[in-house]
């Protein structure tokens, strides 16, 4: 597997009070023959994230056709689980509606932050969204006692399947809190109420690994393929395969994409969204500084 980089397609800098820096965790939703709406989260001057989108023609992706001027998922009210950030994750087209799963963030005291998985629903084709609830759809519990977020959701085999980030623990290192999270699996009958059994799909492999995030799963015939971000010293994009979507084998050396020698994605590469369009696989991803340098596009060679 080899990904051919097509370059940076969106740079976020100073495009509004809500979009001062970053365009992170992209997701492509097809809205026309070759037209895609790319959802992402941008940050304001207080580093608070909000979800919005821009639109591109996949044949000339460096030309942004439209940038929405405001957030479509904004901060929650003071004290809510998303009062300090709403981070884009995944969209499911469900009948006439679009379900947008996102991570709501709030600040902590003993630890720097908390995030939990929320849901917003669009009834107008993804131009606007309304939050399903003032509370997250996946709060902490005995299975996920620390964090939940960054979900990938597929409707498959007459059920809803979710791969999501779950916090495992916090530690103190050099007198500073450090988070550890990996990827778990859950199922649902309606996309709203989720059965969590603590099934770990992608776990830590290297001694210095502490953050495994942003799963992206596609079903290819009878097998499943996942791209995700894994972090030791800095983020890289990993890859795994599964026959059932539950038991996975990490094959990070087959991811087919890595940092560049120089430029916007030379230090780290992360938050991939892989999608099929007319028989070809495309990848949206972030580079240096967790999306501060923008969003890039790659296409799988030979597809």
The domain in which residue 200 lies consists of 3-300
Our count of domains for the chain comes to 1
The average confidence (pLDDT) of the chain is: 96
- Kindly report the pTM of this predicted structure: 0.96
Phi-psi region of 245 (alpha: psi -120 to 50; beta: other; left: phi over 0): left
Q: Which residues contact 50 (CB under 8 A, 6 or more apart)?
A: 18, 19, 41, 42, 43, 44, 71, 73, 74, 75, 85, 86
pLDDT (tens digit per residue) in 209-220: 999 999 999 998
pLDDT of 191 > 70? The answer is yes
pLDDT (tens digit per residue) in 49-65: 999 999 999 999 999 99
pLDDT of 132 > 60? The answer is yes
CA distance 61 to 58: 5
pLDDT of 303 > 80? The answer is no
Q: What pLDDT is recorded for position 29?
A: 98
Q: What pLDDT is recorded for position 261?
A: 97
Q: What pLDDT is recorded for position 186?
A: 98
Q: What pLDDT is recorded for position 13?
A: 84
Confidence of residue 157 (pLDDT cuts 50, 70, 90): confident
pLDDT of 77 > 60? The answer is yes
Q: What pLDDT is recorded for position 277?
A: 97
pLDDT (tens digit per residue) in 259-272: 999 999 999 999 99
Nearest in space to 100 (alpha carbons), one of 114, 109, 108, 90:
90
- 61-70, long-range: CB < 8 A, 24+ apart: 61/6, 61/9, 61/297, 62/7, 62/8, 62/9, 64/9, 64/10, 65/35, 67/15, 68/127, 69/16, 70/16, 70/18
Could you tell me the CATH number of the domain that includes residue 137? Answer: 2.115.10.20
Q: What pLDDT is recorded for position 192?
A: 97
Q: What pLDDT is recorded for position 56?
A: 98
């Amino acid at each position: 597997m080899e990904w051919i980089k097509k370059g940076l397609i969106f740079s976020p800098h100073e495009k509004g009070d809500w979009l001062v820096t970053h365009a992170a965790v992209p997701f492509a939703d097809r809205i026309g023959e070759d037209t895609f709406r790319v959802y992402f989260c941008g940050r304001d001057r207080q580093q608070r994230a909000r979800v919005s989108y821009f639109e591109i023609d996949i044949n000339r992706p460096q030309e942004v056709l439209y940038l929405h001027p405001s957030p479509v998922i904004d901060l929650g009210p003071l004290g809510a689980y998303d009062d300090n950030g709403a981070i884009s994750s995944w969209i499911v087209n469900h009948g006439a509606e679009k379900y947008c799963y996102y991570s709501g963030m709030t600040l902590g005291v003993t630890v720097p932050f908390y995030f939990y998985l929320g849901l917003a629903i669009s009834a107008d084709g993804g131009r606007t969204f309304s939050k399903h609830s003032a509370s997250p759809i996946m709060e902490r519990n005995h299975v996920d006692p620390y964090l939940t977020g960054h979900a990938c959701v597929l409707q498959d085999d007459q059920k809803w399947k979710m791969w999501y980030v779950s916090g495992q623990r916090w530690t103190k290192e050099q007198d500073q809190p450090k988070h550890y999270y990996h990827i778990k699996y859950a199922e649902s009958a309606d996309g709203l109420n989720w059965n969590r059994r603590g099934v770990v799909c992608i776990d830590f492999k290297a001694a210095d690994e502490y953050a495994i995030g942003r799963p992206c799963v596609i079903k290819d015939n009878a097998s499943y393929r996942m791209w995700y971000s894994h972090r030791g010293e800095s983020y890289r994009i990993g890859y795994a395969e599964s026959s059932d979507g539950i038991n996975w084998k990490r094959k990070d050396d087959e991811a087919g994409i890595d940092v560049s020698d120089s430029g916007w994605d030379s230090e780290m590469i992360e938050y991939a969204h892989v999608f099929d369009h007319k028989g070809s696989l495309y990848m949206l991803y972030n580079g240096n500084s967790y999306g501060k340098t923008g969003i890039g596009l790659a296409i799988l060679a030979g597809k």
